[in-house]
Structures are given as C-alpha cells and as structure tokens.
C-alpha cells in the first residue's frame, strides 16, 4: 500500500514549479503514483490518501478524488482497518438450514 499524505504543501509541490529539491522529488513520486493508477485502469488497489488537519478536499489531486479519502486523526480506525485489510463489520455466521413444512388446509 502507498499512503499519500495530502497537505497544502503537497499540493503546492505537485502543481507548482518545484524549483527546490524537495518539490522536484515530490513531483517525481507523484507522477510515478499517478502512472501506476492509470496502468491499473483507474482502479485503486494500493493508494490510501490521508488528509492532514490543515488540508481540505481541494488539496487532493483531481485524479485521486474518486477514491476513499481518510482524514487524520478523525478516521484513524478506518485507516488502520484499510491498512490491515480487515472489515469493520464481520458478517454473522449462517445458522442451520431452514426446513420448509407444507401443510394442506
């Protein structure tokens, strides 16, 4: 899994000119992640976008907005379940088979 931490600085690094070394590295990694997303036919199997408290949904790249976005720290339980690949709700066990009895009236 790839956790994409979204912040206002991330948006600026990805969409800005990226003159500094940090911005260039961020932009390169972002492009690699976007290429994988496109190669998977826009199905999100590995990307987990997480919004930091100072970020909003407008800071999320457009191509990643169609997936589940987690907010830190509000969605920490859901985020951990996603990373562990576990379900929040466990389906109940099936009981024994039902017997159908037909009685004439």
Helix, strand, coil abundance in the chain, percent, nearest 5: 40, 10, 50
Q: What is the pLDDT of residue 18?
A: 57
pLDDT at 57: 92
Query: How would you write the pLDDT of the chain (105 residues) with one tens digit per residue?
Result: 899 999 998 888 888 765 677 778 888 999 999 998 889 888 887 899 999 999 999 999 888 888 899 999 999 999 999 999 888 887 788 878 878 888 888
pLDDT value for 55: 93
Virtual torsion, Cα 65, 68, 69, 71, nearest 10 deg: 160
| Domain locations in the chain as residue ranges | 2-84
Rg (CA), the chain: 21
């Amino acid at each position: 899994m790839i956790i994409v931490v979204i912040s206002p600085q991330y948006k600026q690094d990805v969409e800005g000119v990226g003159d500094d070394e940090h911005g260039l590295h961020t932009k390169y990694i972002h492009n690699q992640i976007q290429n994988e997303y496109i190669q998977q036919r826009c199905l999100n199997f590995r990307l987990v976008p997480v919004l930091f408290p100072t970020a909003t949904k407008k800071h999320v790249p457009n191509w990643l907005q169609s997936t589940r976005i987690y907010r830190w720290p509000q969605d920490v339980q859901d985020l951990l379940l996603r990373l562990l690949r576990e379900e929040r709700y466990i389906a109940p066990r099936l009981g024994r088979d039902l017997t159908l009895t037909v009685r004439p009236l």
